[in-house]
Structure formats: C-alpha cells, structure tokens
C-alpha cells in the first residue's frame, strides 16, 4: 500500500509509464479493500489524480463500502481532478462516474452530483465540443434532481467530436445523451431543440432497434404532434430497421396521432383516455395533455391565415371556447409572438396583422452574424474531417481495392461480350 | 433601509440589479450547504417571477425539500402567486401582491409588481386597439380613475361613448450595435472564404 502511495507521486514520469506502474498495484488494492479509505486520505486528487481514480474504481467493486464516504470521495475528486492524468485511463473514469450516479440515485440525493459532474464534462475532454460518457451521466442527474437549467448550457452547445479511444464512449452513452437532452429541452419548453435531440436518438445508424430509440421516438411523436399538429415522417437517413419496425412498438401513439390529426376534440380526448394507462407507464401523459391543449392555439393560428378580421364571438365558436377564454388565449399568443393581432373590445373584433418584422434591424443582423459564425465553424470542422479521411491509409486502401474490383469486373464483362 | 437580511446579494439589491440576484441564486443553490441557502429560496422564487420565467420557477418549487416548504410561510404564498401569474388570473395576482411579505421581501415583491405591470402595459398597448376601462383596470391592478390618468400620460385617447381607451402601440427599443465588432467578424468571414478559394 505504501508502495502505491509512493509510486503515485512520481508524476515526473511520462504519463504512460506512470499508468503501467500504478496499474501493477491494482490486484493488491482489490485484496485490501479495508485500507482503501486510508490510501485515499493520503492522496491529493489534484496532483495524484490517476492514483486517486484507480482506488475509486477498485472501491466500485467493493460491496461493503460506506456509500456516503464513497459519494463524498468522488465529489471531492470530480471537483479537483487533473484532466491530463485521467485521459489515459478513460474506462476507469466512466466506470466510477456511472457507479457514482447509481449510488446518488439509490441514496436519493442526485442534486449533490450535479456540480461535480458538470465540471467533469467541461474539464475531461481534451477538445471542447467532445461528447463523453459523463455527458449522459450528468444529464441523468440533472433530470433526477430537476436541475434542468444546469444542463441547458451544455446541451445547447453543438457537440461535433466523438473520440472513443480517448473517452471510452459507447453507443449507449451517445443514444442516452440525446434522449436525456430531448427530455430536458422538452421540460424547458424548447420544443424545436427537443425534436432535434430526440431525432438524433432514433435515427442513429443501427442494425437493430434499441429501447432508447423507441422511447425517444414516443416522446418525439408527441412533441411533434404538439408543435406541428401533424404526424411525423421518417427522414431519408433513418435506418431501415427503424423505419420498418419502430411503429410496432408504439401502437398507442400511432393510433392517438391518427385521431389527433382528425381534429375532433371529443374523439381526441376519448383516445387519450383509452390509452392513458400506456401513456402513464411511459411517463408521457403530461405530453399528451399538452398536445391536447395545443389544439386551440393551432386552430386560432389557422384562422389568421384565412381572415383579416373576425369577431371574438366567431373565433370562440370556431375553436369551441368561451369568448372570454378565446380573448385570453389570443392575448397569450400575441405575447408569445405566435400571431400578430389587435383586439378591439368596443366592436368585439380581432384584426389579424402581418408580421411587423422588417428584417432590417440590429437584432436580425446579430442573429445573422451568429448563424454565419456557426456555419463557418462547422465548415472548418468538416474540412478537417475530410482531410483526416484523405490521408488515412486504411481509407485509401479500401478505395483502391474497390476500384480494382470494379475495373476487373468491367474487364470480365468486356471479355464476355467479345466471347 | 433594512439592515442586510441577505448580505450576499445586498450590493445587487442596492443597485436594483435583479438579473444578478437571479444568477447569484442559480450559482449558489447547489454550491452552498443547504442550511446556508435555505433563506434564499423565497428570493430565488420571486426573482424567477420577476424574470417572467414560470417554467424554471415551477422546477425550483419542485426541487425545494418539503420540510423547507412547510417551515417558511411565505414560500407557499409566493408559489400561489406564481400559479396565478401562469394562469393570468389578474384579480388574484394583484391581491397576492398586496399581501404583507415583511420588510425583507418587500423590495423584491415591489419589483415584481412593477415589472409585471410594465409587461402587461406593453402587452395591452400592442394587442388592443380599444379596451374597456374596466378590463384595463383589472389588467393593470389600478383603479379606473387611475387608468384614465395613467394612460393619458402615455398618449392614449379616452372614448367617452363606450367608456373605453385607445391604446398606442409601443415600439421595442432598438439596440445599438457595436460597429468595430461587426467589421471584425466581417473580415473573419472574408478571410475564411478566401482560404477556400486558394
């Protein structure tokens, strides 16, 4: 044990050598779990991050450990570790982080892990915008502790890097990340981004259907109904297996969607309560209710496309609301920028206006500037990926063999014809 | 002036900087020990309302441990207020705003009332071409006489025939851009495009 502590401070060694040196002690640590807390107390997580992490990983396997202590130790570690030392043993890091989330969940204090893991997602990856397995862990804690706002800055950044060798990230981590991100965007009523995140989860390349994809699709389906009022289709890049089979797993949703587009409020209510048990089981009943509530707003919006002015009474009749409720709804819609209208209480009329935005102000210019900036960054990223491919021996070899094959096939064809 | 009931945010409060109070609360809710943050929950909740962020106010309410909700009588009242704001139940909103929350919370409640009234006033100005004095008085939480006096200073005309007023739309204040920054990003883009070409 003392030897391990001694070795752990040899940070002057090249990082790979330090790793080999420290991992030699792992068996010894596993056989002496009762002394692990003492070892941790002797280590400084800032300067001896690698050793600290190895001990924590060994502790994950110890069934008899004090859970409170473990949580404190990991929190302390996550709030101060040195990213450089951790990057050489990513599989240890993700194992500890997963176990940590599990223990926080079991002891019902998920909020305690939010800030430590938030630091972990920011410090661990070498490059920014890299997705790590800890991203999904972090989002899960945010959802469990209802700290959605803590996750928003992280999920609003577009992630453009995946580096499996360096972060030990796997498919499940990626899918969970997008699924959780979708849930958080939905909770914060950022539906456009929510749809995008859910779609990433169920359109990810796949040869078999995953449970995460199915759950993501269910939520996607309901949010899509609520936002657009129509049934979503499959984008071209959707894997065939998903296109063929996913709807079999979401029968209640598809039925509900068909009724929904029919537009008959009573029937929609009936369908929703008929499948309420299924929706409840999937924890989607809230979304179903929201989708029903969106009907009035969408119907009012439709009216603005047909009429220039309409009396409040007529509007109320069209959308089946009382005149007072219709007025409140319209007022809310104006505030949210969904419609442009003015109400005249004296005549009881509502006039629908054109969008007053002239697209000439400073706000639009700034918006345009941000968009161009994003595209330029993305373009540079694409160019660098392209270069990586163009210089990759494996890729070039594949191209070459493919070319040879197609040429020889062509030759054979010619010979056949001549013969 | 009350002697600092909330020492950590006193300097923001003196500057009427409610935006920073909200970010302080967001920052420290998880960082501070719970017993140190406990008295800030009500400030946090009101400031979400001042920022007109009902969604986050609701999640905050769900996060607050139930024993704290029970111990602080004001928290429940503020949450009731939040619900009325989300339903736009004007009569109840103003009734709740008039409750005595004690000197410590008074500056926040006062700001909430002012900002809510301002928001509603802007909304009415842009959404109505004609509104009855009765409704305007309900929306703004002031007496009909005050409505007439207040709206006239803002250029609204009174329509004596129908006991109503004619709102004048307010235009949002245009932000002035930073020219140097714009030129800077423009050169960046041109540089990018030129690199592509060669």
Helix/strand/coil for A112: helix
Q: What is the pLDDT of residues A59-111, one digit of tens each?
A: 998 888 899 999 999 999 999 998 888 888 999 999 999 999 999 999 988 99
- Which residue does chain B place closest to A108, by CA atoms? B65
Sign of the C-alpha dihedral, residues A80, A86, A89, A91?
positive
**Which CATH number does the domain housing residue A323 bear?**
1.10.10.10
Distance between CA atoms of residues B169 and B174, nearest Å: 15
Q: What is the pLDDT of residue A70?
A: 94
**Could you give the count of Cα atoms lying within 13 Å of A215 in the half-sphere of its Cβ?**
15
The answer on B99 and B20 residing in a single domain is yes
For residue A106 the two structure tokens come to: 């079991």
Strands B164-166 vs B128-132: parallel, antiparallel or unpaired = antiparallel
The answer on A6 and A133 residing in a single domain is yes
Nearest to A145 among B31, B63, B162 (CB): B63
Confidence of residue B3 (pLDDT cuts 50, 70, 90): low
Q: What is the pLDDT of residue B1?
A: 45
The answer on B72 and B14 residing in a single domain is yes
In a domain, B192, yes or no: no
The answer on B116 and B38 residing in a single domain is yes
Q: What is the pLDDT of residues A308-352, one digit of tens each?
A: 999 999 999 988 888 888 999 999 999 888 899 999 998 899 999
Q: What would you report as the CA-atom Rg of chain B, rounded to the nearest whole angstrom?
A: 22
Please work out, in degrees rounded to the nearest 5, the angle formed at the alpha carbon of residue A119 by the alpha carbons of A113 and A123: 145
Total domains, chain A = 3
Residue matched to tokens 């993501």: A216
Q: What is the pLDDT of residues B10-58, one digit of tens each?
A: 889 888 899 999 999 998 999 888 788 988 999 999 999 999 999 999 9
The answer on A127 and A55 residing in a single domain is yes
Interface residue A290 vs chain B (CB under 8 A): no
The answer on B90 and B43 residing in a single domain is yes
Asked if A189 lies within 8 A of B55 by C-beta distance, the reply is yes
Q: What is the ipTM of this complex?
A: 0.86
Question: DSSP assignment, residue B61?
Answer: H
Please work out, in degrees rounded to the nearest 5, the angle formed at the alpha carbon of residue B161 by the alpha carbons of B119 and A321: 55
The answer to whether residues B13 and B6 touch, using CB atoms and an 8 Å cutoff, is yes
Q: What is the pLDDT of residue A249?
A: 94
Which H/E stretch holds residue A229?
Answer: none
The answer on A1 and A109 residing in a single domain is yes
Q: What is the pLDDT of residues B79-95, one digit of tens each?
A: 999 999 998 899 999 99
Q: Give the residue from A275, A305, A335 where a domain finishes.
A: A305
The answer to whether residues A99 and A113 touch, using CB atoms and an 8 Å cutoff, is no
In a domain, B41, yes or no: yes
The answer on B97 and B137 residing in a single domain is no
What is the SS3 assignment for A343-403?
EECCCCEEEECCCCCCCCCHHHHHHHHHHHHHHHHHHHHHHHHHHHHHCCHHHHHHHHHHH
The answer on A316 and A287 residing in a single domain is no
Cβ burial of A166 (10 Å; 0-12, 13-18, 19+) is middle
* Residue in A144, A300, A334, A346 to test binding to B, most B beta-carbons within 10 Å: A346
The answer on B107 and B84 residing in a single domain is yes
- State the residue range of the domain holding A325: 307-381
Total domains, chain B = 2
Rounded mean pLDDT, A136-142 = 96
The answer on B118 and B44 residing in a single domain is yes
The answer on B95 and B152 residing in a single domain is no
Q: Give the residue from A145, A180, A196 where a domain finishes.
A: A145
Question: DSSP assignment, residue A33?
Answer: G
Distance between CA atoms of residues A154 and A188, nearest Å: 14
Q: What is the pLDDT of residues A212-260, one digit of tens each?
A: 999 999 999 999 999 999 999 999 999 999 999 999 999 999 999 999 9
The answer to whether residues A343 and B139 touch, using CB atoms and an 8 Å cutoff, is no
The answer to whether residues A225 and A231 touch, using CB atoms and an 8 Å cutoff, is yes
Residue matched to tokens 């409750």: B99
The answer on A128 and A238 residing in a single domain is no
Rounded mean pLDDT, A171-183 = 96
Interface residue A243 vs chain B (CB under 8 A): no
Rounded mean pLDDT, A375-399 = 88
Collect all residues with Cβ–Cβ distance below 8 Å to B107 and sequence separation of at least 6. Answer: B13
- Chain A residues touching B135 at Cβ < 8 A: 345
Neighbours of A73 (CB within 10 A): 23
More confident residue, B49 or A18: B49
Distance between CA atoms of residues A22 and A12, nearest Å: 14
Q: What is the pLDDT of residue A126?
A: 75
The answer on B144 and B118 residing in a single domain is no
Lowest mean pLDDT among A62-71, A288-297, B185-194: B185-194
Distance between CA atoms of residues A59 and A71, nearest Å: 11
Whether B195 has a pLDDT exceeding 90, the answer reads: no
Collect all residues with Cβ–Cβ distance below 8 Å to B34 and sequence separation of at least 6. Answer: B65
In a domain, A326, yes or no: yes
Rounded mean pLDDT, A29-37 = 88
Distance between CA atoms of residues A385 and A207, nearest Å: 25
Neighbours of A238 (CB within 10 A): 18
In a domain, B183, yes or no: no
Q: Give the residue from A249, A277, A305 where a domain finishes.
A: A305
Interface residue A339 vs chain B (CB under 8 A): no
In a domain, B44, yes or no: yes
In a domain, A412, yes or no: no
In a domain, A414, yes or no: no
In a domain, A395, yes or no: no
- Chain B residues touching A330 at Cβ < 8 A: 127
CB proximity under 8 Å: A 165-184 to B:
none
Interface residue A345 vs chain B (CB under 8 A): yes
In a domain, A298, yes or no: yes
User: For residues A280, A283, A287 and A290, what is the CA-based torsion angle, rounded to 10 degrees?
Assistant: 60
Helix/strand/coil for B130: strand
In a domain, A157, yes or no: no
The answer on A331 and A203 residing in a single domain is no
The answer on A83 and A21 residing in a single domain is yes
The answer on B24 and B101 residing in a single domain is yes
Collect all residues with Cβ–Cβ distance below 8 Å to B7 and sequence separation of at least 6. Answer: none
In a domain, B181, yes or no: no
Collect all residues with Cβ–Cβ distance below 8 Å to B86 and sequence separation of at least 6. Answer: B54, B58
The answer on A288 and A316 residing in a single domain is no
Q: What is the pLDDT of residue A419?
A: 47
- State the residue range of the domain holding B27: 7-127
Q: What is the pLDDT of residue A15?
A: 85
In a domain, A387, yes or no: no
Q: What is the pLDDT of residue A16?
A: 86
The answer on A227 and A301 residing in a single domain is yes
The answer on B26 and B103 residing in a single domain is yes
Whether B2 has a pLDDT exceeding 50, the answer reads: no
In a domain, A390, yes or no: no
Helix/strand/coil for A152: helix
């Amino acid at each position: 044990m003392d030897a391990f502590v001694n070795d752990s401070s040899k940070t002057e060694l090249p990082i790979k050598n330090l790793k080999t040196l420290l991992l030699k002690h792992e068996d010894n640590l596993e056989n002496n779990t009762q002394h692990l807390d003492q070892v941790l107390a002797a280590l400084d997580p800032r300067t001896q991050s690698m050793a600290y992490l190895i001990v924590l990983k060994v502790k994950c396997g110890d069934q008899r450990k004090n859970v409170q202590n473990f949580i404190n130790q990991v929190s302390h570690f996550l709030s101060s570790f040195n990213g450089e030392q951790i990057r050489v043993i990513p599989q240890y890091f993700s194992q500890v982080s997963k176990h940590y989330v599990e223990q926080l969940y079991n002891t019902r204090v998920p909020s305690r892990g939010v800030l430590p893991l938030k630091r972990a997602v920011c410090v661990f990856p070498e490059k920014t915008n890299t997705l790590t397995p800890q991203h999904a862990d972090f989002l899960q804690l945010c959802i469990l502790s209802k700290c959605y706002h803590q996750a928003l800055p992280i999920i609003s950044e577009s992630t453009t890097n995946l580096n499996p060798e360096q972060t030990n990230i796997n498919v499940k981590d990626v899918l969970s990340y997008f699924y959780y991100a979708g849930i958080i965007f939905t909770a914060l009523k950022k539906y456009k981004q929510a749809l995008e995140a859910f779609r990433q989860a169920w359109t990810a390349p796949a040869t078999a259907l995953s449970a995460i994809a199915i759950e993501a699709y269910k939520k996607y389906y309901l949010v899509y109904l609520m936002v657009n009022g129509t049934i979503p289709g499959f984008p071209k890049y959707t894997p065939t297996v998903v296109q063929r089979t996913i709807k079999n797993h979401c029968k209640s949703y598809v039925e509900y969607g068909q009724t929904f587009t029919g537009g008959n409020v009573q029937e929609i209510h009936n369908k929703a309560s008929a499948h309420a048990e299924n929706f409840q089981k999937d924890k989607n009943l809230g979304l179903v209710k929201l989708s029903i509530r969106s009907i009035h707003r969408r119907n009012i919006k439709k009216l603005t496309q047909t009429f220039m002015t309409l009396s409040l009474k007529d509007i109320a009749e069209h959308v089946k609301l009382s005149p007072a409720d219709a007025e409140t709804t319209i007022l809310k819609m104006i505030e949210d920028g969904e419609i442009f209208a003015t109400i005249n209480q004296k005549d009881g009329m509502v006039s629908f206006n054109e969008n007053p935005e002239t697209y000439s102000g400073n706000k639009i210019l700034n918006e345009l500037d941000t968009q161009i900036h994003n595209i330029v960054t993305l373009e540079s990223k694409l160019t660098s990926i392209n270069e990586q491919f163009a210089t990759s021996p494996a890729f070039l070899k594949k191209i070459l063999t493919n070319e040879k094959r197609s040429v020889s096939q062509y030759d054979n064809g010619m010979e056949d014809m001549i013969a | 002036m009350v002697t600092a009931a909330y020492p950590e945010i006193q300097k923001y409060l003196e500057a009427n900087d409610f935006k920073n109070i909200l970010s302080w609360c967001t920052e420290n809710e998880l960082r501070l020990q719970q017993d140190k943050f406990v008295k800030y929950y009500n400030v946090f909740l009101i400031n979400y309302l001042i920022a007109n962020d009902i969604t986050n106010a609701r999640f905050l309410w769900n996060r607050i441990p139930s024993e704290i909700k029970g111990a602080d009588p004001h928290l429940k009242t503020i949450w009731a207020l939040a619900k009325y704001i989300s339903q736009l139940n004007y009569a109840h909103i103003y009734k709740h705003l008039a409750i005595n929350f004690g000197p410590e919370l008074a500056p926040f409640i006062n700001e909430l009332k002012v900002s809510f009234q301002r928001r509603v006033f802007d909304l009415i100005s842009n959404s109505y071409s004609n509104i009855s004095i009765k409704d305007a008085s309900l929306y703004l939480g002031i007496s009909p006489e005050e409505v007439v006096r207040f709206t006239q200073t803002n250029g609204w005309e009174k329509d004596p025939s129908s006991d109503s007023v004619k709102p004048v739309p307010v235009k949002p204040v245009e932000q002035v851009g930073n020219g140097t920054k714009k030129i800077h990003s423009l050169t960046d883009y041109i540089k990018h495009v030129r690199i592509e070409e060669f």
